[in-house]
Amino acid sequence: MDLLNHESATIQYRGYNTRMRSIERRSYLRLSDAAAVSYQAVSEEQFHRNSVESVLGLDANFSLRKQLFKLEQDARELQRALSESDRKLGSYLYNLNQRIEVITTAVVNLDQSGPANLLDISPAGASFLSNDAFPADDLLAVKITFHNVSLGIACFAMVRYSLIDERAGYRLGIQFISADATTENLIERHISAIQAEERRKRLRSAKTFT
């Protein structure tokens, strides 16, 4: 069963409510991507008493990734909007965005997150290749660091399935249960940005052959 295709519902895990988006929205806002994924099994007590950052031992650099990603996305959206009406201001924002990208590259290079994993992700959850299998409903502390962009997320998750995969042992399906609205929004923006870029590439390719 694919976690990302569950029907819309609100699930309560031992007093913790987590929303699941509608099937139509998640079917559109989902992405296959390359990312480094690390995880750690946690007890119910750890889940309730500790932050995911403390469980995983995350440092300030990881928190900076999320902040830089948001700034970079904001700058690009402003640049696209203003370039059409004010070229000088649009050029200034382009220059500012280039500076943000330089800082982002430096921060990303400081965080050696490991090899890429084949990841399917939506704002509600993800699936990825793993050497380990876990029973359904087990709790994990998960860190996902996307390659080629500054975005990194960390949250608690519930295992929905562990399926045998010929490429790497198992494919784990997880449901995010502690991702806040900001994190969900950043995942949505990342997916939307990649999808928009893919559409632009297809349009350019179509024009080339016409």
Contact 177, 158 (CB under 8 A): yes
Q: Residue ranges per domain, the chain?
A: 3-58+115-208
pTM exceeds cut of 0.95: no
Q: Rounded distance, CA 66 to CA 143, Å?
A: 12
Q: What is the pLDDT of residue 111?
A: 60
Model confidence at 4, pLDDT cuts 50, 70, 90, reads very low
**Class of the CATH-defined domain 3-58+115-208:** mainly beta
pLDDT of residue 101: 67
CA distance 126 to 121: 4
**Average pLDDT score over the chain:** 77
